Structure 1
Amino acid sequence: MDGRPRYQGVADVVRSSILSGEFDPGSRLPSRTRLARAHGVSEQVSRHALRLLVSEGLVEARPGSGYYVRSVPQIHRFSRTDRASGSGVDPLRHEDMGTGTEAACGLVARRLDVRDGVRVFRTRCLGTADGVPVALHTAWEPAALTQGTLRTPADADPGSGVLQRLAAAGVTIDRVVEEVGVRPLRDPESSLLKLAPGLPVLVVERTHYQGRRPVETSDLVGSTDHCRLIYRLGLARSPRQETR
């Protein structure tokens, strides 16, 4: 015995079988009872072993059905250096969920540097692939910027970016800041993405500025299994390289 908990030994055997290809992606694993009998342990031990493999991302639990080897996810890549700056859910299929107004509060108010209660436009767009929700884009901007004009988010032409729309309203964006992180999935994001609340998700917080003033902020939320961010960064040439 190596002194480790017995469930880790059971998990090692199952993990090795998965990685060697003995179990194909999507196939059902032996039940807790069968694993317990095969390894001479209690069902509680086999349950802990399977939960460990779930936490590692190799296995998924399906309530009422059992444990299955996770299928290889389809990866979707989001370019973060597009000229439109804020391409939402491109390159996924767009499902426009509309624009409405709400009172800014909490994090949104702080990101836009406005008081709680200030009216903002909120626009949501769902990105899907083969009919499956993959990413959710939500954007907020102070309603006072464009209210009463034909340049509100609700009036945006399909395919136009926030830079062009706000520029037409006399608001020139000259800086973009992004912060990328992982956080638990919230409601109503979970129902829109059809994922369990609390699941870790990738989040890109992007804010557009006119000088020092934030004029629009957005969240791109997507599954960490399916979403990747692509950054293409130009490198400045040294004076020696330029003279060659």
Structure 2
Amino acid sequence: MRVYALLNQERRFEEVAVTERIPAYERIADHLRQKIRAGDLAAGSRLSPHRVMAEEYGVSEIIIRRAMDLLRTEGLIESRRGSGTFVRPSSPVRRISMDRYLADKGPQAEPRTSFTKDQGIAWSQYRLDKAFAWIEADERLAGLFGVPAGTRVLERRFVFYALGAPSQLSRSCLLASDVEGMPVADPANEPWPGGNIGQLRSLGIEVNGGIVEETAVRMPTPEEAGLLGIGAGVPVFAITRQMFSDGRVVEVADPIVIPGDRAVRIDRISV
């Protein structure tokens, strides 16, 4: 019994030693993180002022600020000028599957795209920020299209909003030889029911050769984090997409960027 008591005492000493090696701001951040995830600090609730929290934890306000910075980077809290710091509301999880593009095919009783289907929103609850530019394809983009570098391309950059919240970024490109002078090249026509598949169909181009997507997980760039309203510590899905018609690539999206804390990727495999 004495041996077990000594072993337990040694373990407690080791736990204390490990805790002491962890910086105070990380311990405080972890404590608050657990309370947020457990729901003890509900979404939208206001955190105590730094001065009060410093007294509660027995540390300086500098330590509290560092803990808040860490949680803000992770996207768990947000500061509102003149109001304080609040637990950031969590967005509904979006389920992404390859069959979502079926929403873009065929006649539509009501306007929709694969994005509105994923989000479960009506057309009136969907909007886009967009910027169009004519560019010359660099080596990467040309390689994805299978055309020579320098080929003229329409570059379209989109920020997708669902219920007023930014939910996805996309850099979608089309070959100038397919779209120049056509309604598809006019940003005033966005958003377009049926998305890219609907747009290409209006040009007489059917996406009949399939769609290939390559998905990576990485940290967002500062610009991506700002546009999506996420912390710099929240990972994102970065998707490269190619749409095929009659043996050639007719659309390239590179990248599509989706916050990793708001999405689940679903792949169905038949065996």
For normalisation by structure 2, the TM-score amounts to 0.65
Note closer, same or farther for the CA distance 1:52–1:235 as it changes in structure 2 (3 Å cut): same
| CA contact 2:219–2:232 (8 Å) conserved in 1 | no
Which shifted more, 5-14 or 26-35?
5-14
For each residue in 1:98-144, what CA deviation from the matched residue of structure 2 results, as whole angstroms up to 9, or x when unmatched?
75532222532332233443211234554322223322333212222
For each residue in 1:133-162, what CA deviation from the matched residue of structure 2 results, as whole angstroms up to 9, or x when unmatched?
3223332122224557x6966599742653
Distance (Å, rounded) in 1 between the aligned partners of 2:233 and 2:56:
34
Instruction: Find the counterpart in structure 1 of residue 194 from structure 2.
Output: 159
User: Residue 6 in 1 paired to residue 39 in 2?
Assistant: no
| CA contact 1:185–1:196 (8 Å) conserved in 2 | no
Structure 2 residues not aligned, in runs of 5+: 1-15, 106-112
Note closer, same or farther for the CA distance 1:31–1:203 as it changes in structure 2 (3 Å cut): same
Once the two structures are TM-superposed, the CA of residue 88 in structure 1 deviates from its matched residue by 5.5
Equivalent of 2:46 in 15, 28, 37: 28
For each residue in 1:148-188, what CA deviation from the matched residue of structure 2 results, as whole angstroms up to 9, or x when unmatched?
7x69665997426538836964676424221112342465x
Instruction: Find the counterpart in structure 2 of residue 73 from structure 1.
Output: 91
**What RMSD over aligned residues (CA atoms) do the two structures have, in Å?**
3.9
Question: What residue identity is the alignment partner of 2:172?
Answer: A
Instruction: Find the counterpart in structure 1 of residue 63 from structure 2.
Output: 45
2:173 partner SS: strand
Distance (Å, rounded) in 1 between the aligned partners of 2:30 and 2:141:
45
Distance (Å, rounded) in 2 between the aligned partners of 1:197 and 1:11:
16
Equivalent of 2:166 in 133, 158, 183: 133
Once the two structures are TM-superposed, the CA of residue 71 in structure 1 deviates from its matched residue by 1.6
Instruction: Find the counterpart in structure 2 of residue 217 from structure 1.
Output: 252
1:214 partner SS: strand
Note closer, same or farther for the CA distance 1:22–1:147 as it changes in structure 2 (3 Å cut): closer
Note closer, same or farther for the CA distance 1:46–1:96 as it changes in structure 2 (3 Å cut): closer
1:23 partner SS: coil
Aligned residues: 232
For each residue in 1:63-122, what CA deviation from the matched residue of structure 2 results, as whole angstroms up to 9, or x when unmatched?
66543222222233344223348x553335243747553222253233223344321123
Instruction: Find the counterpart in structure 2 of residue 89 from structure 1.
Output: 115
1:109 partner SS: helix
Instruction: Find the counterpart in structure 1 of residue 11 from structure 2.
Output: none
Note closer, same or farther for the CA distance 1:186–1:139 as it changes in structure 2 (3 Å cut): farther
Q: Tell me which protein shows more helix as a share of its residues.
A: 2
| CA contact 1:88–1:220 (8 Å) conserved in 2 | no
Instruction: Find the counterpart in structure 2 of residue 226 from structure 1.
Output: 262
For each residue in 1:16-58, what CA deviation from the matched residue of structure 2 results, as whole angstroms up to 9, or x when unmatched?
4434544221112123322222222222222232233334443
2:69 partner SS: helix
Note closer, same or farther for the CA distance 1:100–1:169 as it changes in structure 2 (3 Å cut): farther
Distance (Å, rounded) in 2 between the aligned partners of 1:19 and 1:234:
33
Instruction: Find the counterpart in structure 2 of residue 109 from structure 1.
Output: 142
1:139 partner SS: strand
For normalisation by structure 1, the TM-score amounts to 0.70
| CA contact 2:175–2:250 (8 Å) conserved in 1 | yes
2:261 partner SS: coil
Distance (Å, rounded) in 1 between the aligned partners of 2:81 and 2:225:
18
